[in-house]
């Protein structure tokens, strides 16, 4: 599940990384993103994730033990929500945040924005419900989702879990830290 900016066509480098690891991928654009119709909102992104999961387990007949949910930034919140109510083999989150209210308060610290946001994406409140191995990537240099958000989310998650600190910005840490990133993914997928 991709982040808030862009669409699936902007994830080709990441898809290539996964392909080179021998991982089959299925990526979607949420409603209102890319060529998908509709208007984006929290409930809609969760419904889109549920539809993708239903497609894989229903029409494609993939067993849940072969599905790893992978989300970056906003997509990490979508992945956490999905993995909290369906069985999956594992969860990967990258440059995740705790909630939209936390993000808004960080951006506007003196305003009461925490109470004004409509979309909550409360990953911190949902992560304990994920009953699958977790791999979390986060860069200390992330200029969008604070490193502390990734640490708090990770701390609230169940075991087994692994936190990998990357270097680089919100959107390029997986490139800047490519060697470490790929090695951690390879180890995670091999261990499932």
Among all residues, which ones are annotated catalytic?
A: 73, 142, 170
Q: Whole-angstrom Cα distance, residue 16 to residue 29?
A: 17
Token pair for residue 176? 């800047």
CA proximity to 93, closest of 17, 37, 149, 54:
149
Cβ–Cβ < 8 Å for 32, 42: no
Torsion of CA 2, 165, 119, 54, to 10 degrees: 40
- Residue 134: count other Cβ atoms within 10 Å of its Cβ: 23
Cis, bond preceding 162 (omega within 30 deg of 0): no
């Amino acid at each position: 599940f991709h982040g808030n900016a862009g669409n699936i066509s902007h994830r080709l480098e990441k898809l290539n990384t996964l392909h080179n690891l021998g991982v089959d991928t299925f990526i979607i654009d949420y409603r209102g993103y890319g060529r998908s119709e509709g208007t984006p909102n929290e409930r809609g992104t969760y419904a889109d994730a549920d539809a993708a999961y239903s497609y894989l387990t229903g029409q494609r007949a993939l067993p849940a033990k072969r599905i790893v949910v992978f989300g970056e930034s906003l997509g990490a919140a979508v992945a956490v929500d999905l993995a909290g109510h369906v069985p999956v083999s594992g969860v990967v989150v990258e440059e995740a945040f705790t909630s939209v209210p936390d993000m808004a308060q960080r951006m506007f610290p003196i305003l009461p924005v925490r109470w004004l946001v409509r979309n909550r994406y409360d990953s911190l409140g949902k992560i304990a419900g994920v009953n699958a191995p977790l791999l979390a990537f986060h860069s200390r240099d992330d200029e969008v989702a604070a490193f502390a958000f990734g640490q708090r989310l990770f701390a609230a998650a169940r075991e087994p879990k692994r936190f990998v600190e990357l270097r680089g910005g919100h959107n390029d840490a997986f490139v800047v830290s490519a060697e470490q990133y790929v090695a951690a993914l390879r180890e995670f997928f091999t261990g499932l």
